[in-house]
Structure 1
Amino acid sequence: MSDSDSSTDFPASKFDRGKIFAKTGLKVGANYARYLKDRVTNRKGDKTAQKAALNTQNAKDIYAELTKLRGTALKLAQSMSMDTGVLPDEFMDVMAQAQYKVPPMNQALVRKRIRDGLGRYPELLFDSFQGDAIAAASIGQVHRATLSDGRDVAVKVQYPNIRNTIESDLTVARQLFGRLVNGPYLDEYFEEVRSMLMLETDYENEAENIDFFADQYDYDGVVTPEAVHEYTSQTVLTMTFVEGQHMEEFLAGQPGQERRNHFGQLLWDFVHDQIASNYCTLHADAHPGNFLFRDDGRLGVIDFGCVKRFPQNFRDDMLRLWNARIHDNQDAIDTMLHKLDILHDEMNASTRERVTSFFERFGRLIVRPYRSDTFDFGDDAFYDELKACFKEGSQLRETSGSHHFIFINKVLVGLFSLMAQLRPTIDTRHSQDLLHQSVDALA
């Protein structure tokens, strides 16, 4: 296969990608038709098992097509794997593969992408280079290599035409969501997503993010890679290699509760160290593929493409809202809901009531871990409430809140999903102290 031919595995035009989206819809429709027929012809069958089989088949068909599309579409699959209670469990089980099992580019295309990005083929740049990818995700895939100075590195190679796919996918998504939701902020939300995805395709920007996190957060319990700038371009990123197990492999080893508690604590504190920092910078892609559980007890943090830098006033208002909720100060809560545009003047009375009711319930759940010195994330009752709350939120058909909430929510859902899998009991005193100190500094 020639270099020009090999790129056809990555449909970039709106038309080509639209055909795949349409094919997916037809497959799902056919599955549903078979399901209805089976219910009629097999009336004594197990209805729950029939519905589960439908969900599984739909999830497999959707996943198969999204992996062809990669890019924005595959990021949607990663989002589907989060434990939010909105999608059936069968979807989450299948879509979790999007963290680890994406079909990679062939080796000829990888060589071409490295030559185009760095000026030479990999065998001329690296002392050794593994042609088979060790990981493949939504925007690029990772290869292991060795530099001439002996350092082990990970080389991330971007799929071709990714920037074009972002524009075409978001155009389709904007049309779809425009039919499903109302409100004044939809265009701002899509612009926020588009801007962040474009930044994720700039590997030189990611290298700068790696430098920042290596400087700020590479402490005793956390290890991050270091960027190798001389072997990095917009489409090829080289960084030092971080050893460790992904969540799936870690849990398969049946770690004891003490080990689960240890890594859960590191995850919880890592996120809160960022929230409390005056840098207003957040690793905003909290999914299992981006964390490594190491034998030495440290938490490896990788993939710094999705890093959100918040305006200072937004970060400060979020802290004020948290503080108002902790102290059950309803007047302050109402003030912050308006200031953060969660409640706004264009809402009618009915919508305002639904949104207010949802955020009252949601807010009380989110601050529950901070109301005691320890919190058990293995509590099934807590997750049942959280799932029900997420499901209620998904049924709101009104956009509300600053567009900066998109990535706050991404971190929040991702963190609680990670905790749901680890099921640790953690000490929340450090995080409470950090947040209270940050609130006091605002006075």
Structure 2
Amino acid sequence: MSGSNFFGEMKRMARTSGAVGGIAARVAGERLFGIKTDKAAHANDLKALLGGLKGPLMKVAQFASTVPDALPPEYAAELATLQANAPPMGWSFVRRRMAAELGPAWQQRFGSFTHEAVAAASLGQVHRATLLDGTEVACKLQYPDMASVVEADLKQVKLAMSLYQRMDSTLKNEQAYHEISARLREELDYTREAAQMRLHGLMLKDTPEVHIPTPVPELTTGRLLTMTWLDGGSLQKRLEEGDPGEEERRAYARGLFMAFYLPFYRFGVIHGDPHMGNYQARPDRAGINLLDFGAIRVFPPSFVGGVLLLYEAVRDNDEEKAAEAYRIWGFENLSKETIQVLGLWARFLYTPLMEDRVRAIQDVDDPQHGRRVAEQVHAGLKRTGGVTIPREFVLMDRAAIGLGSVFFRLKVEMNWHRMFMELIHDMHAGDLAARQAAALAEAGVPAAL
């Protein structure tokens, strides 16, 4: 580690350790000494602190909040609502950063470049620009010294997760932490994200309901991603203020469904960050723009087979199939009772895909229904002695929860079963492996960390 990275990491840890240490102190006090604390109030304070920091700690916390029992439920509930809202860098700073990526004459490579950022997130900010031929583009510029910031933040979350696990948790989350760490480090590499964007463009090229930006390789570096500009607006704002009709909502739902399920079942790839901020309503109201390709997971074909096997197990109420599916997923040494407990979660995920009827994504009018099911599963796992969460489970589970939440907010009824069956009716493991290998090679996606 370079000196600047080391001191950057130490500075970051100094700013965050008090907040994360507070989690440990309160959990330890309650567990060891019977000291009751207002965890809900402290969690709200923690969210306020993390939300004001530029950097990935809130992103890590969002990931951790979707891993069953990684953190106390009060903290998980608050951290799950975090949004990246740090103020953007000013123009003088942007000029220096752009020069560092493209050279001192970088402005001569653009026809125009906005001084003000059009969006700011946890790792970088976006500027609108035009190329010399008039093509409109978006330039995502990473904040400085993010590598050291990521490492410092990961250490803090690891501390919080490990202490909570020792004191109050039945689930072993070491592998989950390794998965979160690997995916977040990958997000720092914008050349990787550009390849993953190309991959999604290839996988979804015949899906008119989903539009993907195209990266501009000659203006992309490890910390600058230049891509074609897609016209569109906030899907969340459209739902809250635009009063879209049923057909428009169905178009968004079809786009969201295809954007997630087609890459997974046809290529073994998932977009691991499905939240409202990564979807735009297109101007024609006929589908969505899909954004942000940093958190992508490529699964071996055998894992996709395990997911399909679990679907069959739930459909057929077959515990032996379920046990084999969980083994393929990476779970080990599961007792019969533990398999039955995990079945609660599997039924929650698969039921909408199983019923051949028009229905809402969930029949319960409760946006926290998924979290309540997770709490019920946790209570059952306590009785069975706990289980190790495999790495492969983390992004799959996070994506399913996030996508379900978006579907719930769409308030649309669809025949999810028929759309699902259209995707998997001719599934063969050999075909998936060949399609996956060809797509990854054509897009230039590097091996995972």
Give the TM-score, by structure 1 length.
Answer: 0.80
1:55-70 matches, within 5 Å, as 61-70=45-54
Aligned residue pairs, count: 403
- Show CA shifts across 1:248-299 (max 9, x none): 311222223332222112212321111211x212211111111111121121
Cα distance 1:233–1:323, how it changes in 2: closer, same or farther (>3 A)?
same
Whether the 8 Å CA contact 1:378–1:423 is kept in 2: the answer is no
Whether the 8 Å CA contact 1:143–1:156 is kept in 2: the answer is yes
Structure 2 counterpart SS, 1:98:
coil
**Is residue 232 from structure 1 mapped to residue 220 from structure 2 by the alignment?**
yes
Structure 2 counterpart SS, 1:426:
coil
Measured after TM superposition, the shift of residue 60 of structure 1 is 5.7
Match of 2:435?
Answer: none
Match of 2:338?
Answer: 355
Measured after TM superposition, the shift of residue 391 of structure 1 is 2.2
**Is residue 380 from structure 1 mapped to residue 357 from structure 2 by the alignment?**
no
Match of 1:331?
Answer: 320
Cα distance 1:361–1:150, how it changes in 2: closer, same or farther (>3 A)?
same
Measured after TM superposition, the shift of residue 226 of structure 1 is 0.4
Measured after TM superposition, the shift of residue 164 of structure 1 is 1.2
Whether the 8 Å CA contact 1:80–1:91 is kept in 2: the answer is no
Cα distance 1:381–1:298, how it changes in 2: closer, same or farther (>3 A)?
closer
Q: Distance in 1 between matches of 2:349 and 2:77?
A: 25
Structure 2 counterpart SS, 1:375:
coil
In structure 2, give the amino acid aligned to 1:74. Answer: M
Measured after TM superposition, the shift of residue 440 of structure 1 is 8.6
Structure 2 counterpart SS, 1:220:
coil
**Is residue 168 from structure 1 mapped to residue 152 from structure 2 by the alignment?**
yes
In structure 2, give the amino acid aligned to 1:319. Answer: L
Whether the 8 Å CA contact 2:8–2:148 is kept in 1: the answer is yes
Q: Distance in 2 between matches of 1:432 and 1:390?
A: 27
Whether the 8 Å CA contact 1:28–1:61 is kept in 2: the answer is no
Match of 1:304?
Answer: 293
Measured after TM superposition, the shift of residue 201 of structure 1 is 0.6
1:168-317 matches, within 5 Å, as 168-181=152-165, 186-218=173-205, 219-253=207-241, 254-277=243-266, 279-296=267-284, 297-317=286-306
Q: Distance in 2 between matches of 1:373 and 1:172?
A: 46
58-67 vs 323-332, greater mean Cα deviation:
58-67
Cα distance 1:23–1:196, how it changes in 2: closer, same or farther (>3 A)?
closer
In structure 1, give the amino acid aligned to 2:307. Answer: M
In structure 1, give the amino acid aligned to 2:131. Answer: L
Q: Distance in 1 between matches of 2:89 and 2:106?
A: 15
Structure 1 counterpart SS, 2:309:
helix
Measured after TM superposition, the shift of residue 105 of structure 1 is 1.7
- Show CA shifts across 1:73-123 (max 9, x none): 1204545898x998679966x964615x33212222222211111223653
Match of 1:321?
Answer: 310
Query: Where does structure 2 lack aligned partners over 5 or more consecutive residues?
Result: 27-37, 433-449
Structure 2 counterpart SS, 1:286:
coil
Whether the 8 Å CA contact 1:59–1:95 is kept in 2: the answer is no
Out of 10, 13, 25, the residue aligned to residue 9 of structure 2 is: 13
Whether the 8 Å CA contact 1:292–1:299 is kept in 2: the answer is yes
Q: Distance in 2 between matches of 1:417 and 1:202?
A: 28
Measured after TM superposition, the shift of residue 145 of structure 1 is 0.6
Whether the 8 Å CA contact 1:14–1:169 is kept in 2: the answer is no
- Show CA shifts across 1:191-224 (max 9, x none): 2222211111110111111111112213311101
- Show CA shifts across 1:121-146 (max 9, x none): 65333111112111111111111111
Cα distance 1:387–1:198, how it changes in 2: closer, same or farther (>3 A)?
closer
Cα distance 1:389–1:74, how it changes in 2: closer, same or farther (>3 A)?
same
In structure 2, give the amino acid aligned to 1:358. Answer: V
Whether the 8 Å CA contact 2:330–2:390 is kept in 1: the answer is yes
Give the share of equivalent positions with the same residue, in percent: 24
In structure 2, give the amino acid aligned to 1:293. Answer: A
Q: Distance in 2 between matches of 1:251 and 1:81?
A: 25
Whether the 8 Å CA contact 1:13–1:165 is kept in 2: the answer is yes
Q: Distance in 2 between matches of 1:386 and 1:321?
A: 18
Match of 1:368?
Answer: 351
Match of 2:139?
Answer: 155
- Show CA shifts across 1:280-337 (max 9, x none): 1221111111111112112100111111111222222222222222222222112222
Out of 394, 398, 402, the residue aligned to residue 414 of structure 1 is: 402
In structure 1, give the amino acid aligned to 2:238. Answer: F
In structure 2, give the amino acid aligned to 1:195. Answer: A
Q: Distance in 1 between matches of 2:391 and 2:292?
A: 23
Match of 1:34?
Answer: none
Cα distance 1:175–1:437, how it changes in 2: closer, same or farther (>3 A)?
same
Out of 45, 65, 83, the residue aligned to residue 98 of structure 1 is: 83
Cα distance 1:289–1:272, how it changes in 2: closer, same or farther (>3 A)?
same
In structure 1, give the amino acid aligned to 2:345. Answer: F
In structure 1, give the amino acid aligned to 2:18. Answer: A
Whether the 8 Å CA contact 2:20–2:156 is kept in 1: the answer is no
Out of 7, 18, 22, the residue aligned to residue 18 of structure 2 is: 22
1:29-68 matches, within 5 Å, as 61-68=45-52
In structure 2, give the amino acid aligned to 1:203. Answer: Y
Structure 1 counterpart SS, 2:159:
helix
In structure 1, give the amino acid aligned to 2:215. Answer: A
Measured after TM superposition, the shift of residue 412 of structure 1 is 0.5
1:387-426 matches, within 5 Å, as 387-393=371-377, 398-426=386-414
Q: Distance in 1 between matches of 2:431 and 2:317?
A: 19
Superposition CA RMSD, Å? 3.5
- Show CA shifts across 1:154-182 (max 9, x none): 00000111111222222222222122226
In structure 1, give the amino acid aligned to 2:344. Answer: R
Match of 1:73?
Answer: 57
In structure 1, give the amino acid aligned to 2:321. Answer: A
**Is residue 132 from structure 1 mapped to residue 150 from structure 2 by the alignment?**
no
